[in-house]
Chain A
Amino acid sequence: MKKERLITRRGAIVAGVAAVGGFAVARRFPKILPPTCGNVLRAGDSFTYGAQRALLGQSLVREYAPSDVTSFPATGTTDPGVKMKSELGEAYRRMQAGAFAEWRLSVEGSVARPRAFSLAELKQFSPRTQITRHTCEEGWTAIAQWTGVPLSAVLDAVGILPAARFVVYSAYDDWIDSIDLLDALHPQTILAYGMNGRELPVPHGAPVRLRLGRHLGYKNTKYLSRIVVTERRDLYRKSRGTWYGGI
């Protein structure tokens, strides 16, 4: 009887071509696919990102009733003025003493009219209030009401250029992260200055934090200082964790 081979020549050729093809695709789109930060397992982020972008489209997350609002733990940095020993911490303390009247959100990069917005200027945009769920990567969830200006309205005001692809945002606790334009222009992506009907408290990111409906909690950066619209994601994020968790 003829012996069956486990690995046939044809199988080996097909697998080899597929591997080279996959490698070529990854090389061709290094600025589009999520960064792996030198971690091979992070290549799974590319799969999640590609699959979700291909299949999910632009849909809204569920919005809850006021009676669904829960207690909300403040994690990570709860006061940059205390935590940060650098100039950032000092600048934050100074602004906090002046009720954030001196705070400015610089919006720059691939935009037609770069500009720095004060808190009062952000409040002049028509606000959006949403009661949404915050999903922490640690597993807990909390529901709060957020009031702010849609990021898309601010980006419209400065006029993003056609080549723009990503929005990089940095904060007073020295955090940097980024999202693609589909997330940036999502209607529930807001620069929140109000929480549960009051001014955003310092432990939750005063004066302004980002709220993203479809991302895990860690992408919802607090204490925003600067927004840079970019064509290349060179400054994608400061830490080495997942850029697009997708869960």
Chain B
Amino acid sequence: MKIPPATGGPQYGLLQRCAYSGVVFVAAPLMILTGLTMSPAVTSAVPFLLRLFGGYQSARTIHFFTSVVVVLFVVAHVVMVARSGFRRQIRAMTVGE
């Protein structure tokens, strides 16, 4: 499978870079780790998770606030897709062209 090189769109701005790296490198790992911390079975094997997040209930709080951030991020991007030509963008993402 050949993947064509990126076509060099406009450079990302500072806010975009912060948002994307924040979601990929902060929010997503945080959600996965706090989610695992909510499992008694997982924390019995990896008790470090409970120490890392200060217990079950604080892990749960972090998990839900992070999920709100990710939902807002997704909603904002779906709105942007809709505003920049919904049919054309969806076609480009699914069947191509």
Partner-B contacts on A (CB < 8 A)? 4, 6, 8, 52, 55-57, 59-62, 133, 135, 139, 141, 213-216, 246-247
Contact = CB atoms under 8 A, between A and B. Distances in A.
Given A133-B56, A141-B56, A4 B40 contact: no
Contacts of B40: 61, 133, 135, 213-216, 247
- In terms of DSSP, what is the predominant structure of the interface of chain A? loop
A62 B1 CA distance: 49
A149 B38 CA distance: 27
A62 B47 CA distance: 7
Nearest to B2: A4
A52 B41 contact: yes
Given A6-B96, A133-B40, A135-B56, A59 B1 contact: no
B44 A56 contact: yes
B44 A8 contact: no
Given A6-B95, A62-B47, A52 B42 contact: yes
A6 B60 CA distance: 40
A56 B42 contact: yes
A246 B42 CA distance: 8
B50 to A, nearest CB: 7
Contacts of A52: 41-42
Contacts of B4: 4
Nearest to A56: B45
A195 to B, nearest CB: 18
